[in-house]
Structure 1
Amino acid sequence: MVDDFLGKWEAFRAAREERLSAPHGYLAITGLHWLDATPRRYDGAPGAWSFGPDGVAVELGEHESLTVDGTEISGLHRFGHLDERGIRLRAGEVQLEVARRDDAVLLRPRDPAHPLRLEHRPTPTYPPAREWVVDAVFTRSDVVPPQDTAGEVAFTLAGHPTRLAAYDDDGALWLVFADATSGRTTYPAGRQLYAPPPDPDGHVVLDFNRTINLPCAYTEFTTCPVPVPQNRLTFAVEAGEQSPVSIASAQQ
């Protein structure tokens, strides 16, 4: 049976671009607001929002309402303490994301009509090549380090023996790294790669053709991790996504 390497990569790219341009994806985010104890109004979001000892609350005006899980709310509504996943509310076509980040809570409106989403152009990529698909071995850490990485993957890439710290992603692996292309052909802060769960012996396949940008490569209204020192490679990984096309350059 012939392995359809190119066809699988093209399907991956199509799905990736579909997620990027989704009506309420991060290209639709119009602002990043951090709530505090004082009720405040924010652009793109009805009501006055606050976050205090009792959690998150919103006080909606006389002609304002929000929809939560299909139920309309009005007046003063308390959401209590939220987790990192948070909640999603609707105000017409706009979706509001409210979620915890460490000891803070963010509010992000997502408007499908945001120009960043409407004028998005497909992200440039390096040509796919089998040489960037490598076998690796994952070793779980007995002690969780300060960065909360789960362990490391060891492999050889472009002739370089390499070890990258990996985060746990519900059993799968998440790698955040920078390399010699960072700030040249790829986003300066680094990129990310999601890999499948390792087998019982720790073996896992890493396909660097599926390396993608961090959300902050597209918009300032996201929060992104930075690669740990171990994950700053000195050689070039010429695979996966390159720097996004900006609205300004797309219009030239």
Structure 2
Amino acid sequence: MSTSVRSGEFVQQWRDWREQRERELAEPYGWLALVSLDWLEDEPREYPGLPGRWWQDEDAAYLDPKGAEFSHEGEPVVGVRRFELVNSGAGTRVRTGDVEVEVARRSGYLIRVHDPKAPVLRDFRGVPAYEPDPSWVLQGRFEAFDAPRPTTVGAVVEGLSHVYTAPGVVRFAHEGTEHTLTAFNGHDGGLSILFTDATSGVTTYAANRSLAVEAPAADGSVVLDFTRARNLPCAFTDFATCPLPPEGNRLPFAVEAGEKLPHERQG
């Protein structure tokens, strides 16, 4: 197969990936639908635009519908509902009217409203990206730690931190120099790498980008496809609490591949 054919296939696969990515971003209750973020307090209280009363204690978040209609996982919420969640883990959603209220634990508990009429979602016009260049698909090697390491990282929200499990590091070479990135657990046995580089704050979002890596082969080899480096939700909205890359995950060169600074953050 000729290089031009292989290159054409690569570009088409990247375009398919990008279309799917933008469809996911445009989902009516996705990240672009966020319109608020509030931290729960120890005493029950109401929040602007939301029915019911909300609060937290050391272990859980609570909702008292106070006669309003709520549902959780398809079932009506009757009486006080308790939500005990994993810190820095997945949240859960409660529906009321046309909106979904996400409950999540980020040290303390928070609630975020996803509204399909959100201005950011309404005005979404895709994500700027570098043109796909196969030279940014690099070979690497995963090296596992003796035991997975809980790793604390900062967040885009001042004073907040996240704790993730790092199973090891990925080593790779770029222009003859070896670089090492701490990897977190990803989906389906894969890895997730948060990083910044010399484009961060210039042509790409300053705080972070994310790279999904498929599960390492038996010999530890992995593929780093930087053309699929993605923005985290905080690149689009102020109502996200995204993690910052772990110490050492700033690359000293410009990764001119993957997603650029979103339209929503330009100007």
CA RMSD for the aligned pairs? Answer: 1.9
CA 1:142–1:247: 2 relative to 1, 3 Å: closer
TM-fit CA distance, 1:81? 1.8
Task: Check whether the contact 1:172–1:195 (CA below 8 A) recurs between aligned residues.
Answer: yes
1:235 aligns with 2:253: yes
Aligned to 1:142, what secondary structure does the other structure show?
Answer: strand
Task: Check whether the contact 2:69–2:97 (CA below 8 A) recurs between aligned residues.
Answer: no
Aligned match of 2:167: 150
Aligned to 1:124, what secondary structure does the other structure show?
Answer: coil
Aligned match of 1:126: 130
Letter in 2 for 1:164: L
Task: Check whether the contact 1:44–1:109 (CA below 8 A) recurs between aligned residues.
Answer: no
TM-score by length of 2: 0.86
Mapped to 2, the partners of 1:93 and 1:123 lie a distance apart of: 26
TM-score by length of 1: 0.91
Number of corresponding residues = 246
Mapped to 2, the partners of 1:188 and 1:85 lie a distance apart of: 24
Task: Check whether the contact 2:60–2:109 (CA below 8 A) recurs between aligned residues.
Answer: no
The 5 Å alignment of 1:9-24 reads 9-24=14-29
Where do 4+ consecutive residues of structure 1 move more than 3 Å? 145-148
TM-fit CA distance, 1:78? 2.2
User: What percentage of residue pairs aligned between the two structures are identical?
Assistant: 41
Aligned match of 1:71: 75
Structure 1 gap segments, 5+ residues each: none
Mapped to 2, the partners of 1:210 and 1:239 lie a distance apart of: 8
Aligned match of 2:262: 244
The 5 Å alignment of 1:88-167 reads 88-102=93-107, 104-143=108-147, 144=149, 146-147=151-152, 148-167=165-184
Structure 2 gap segments, 5+ residues each: 153-164
Aligned match of 2:38: 33
Aligned to 2:205, what secondary structure does the other structure show?
Answer: coil
TM-fit CA distance, 1:80? 4.2
TM-fit CA distance, 1:67? 1.2
TM-fit CA distance, 1:159? 4.2
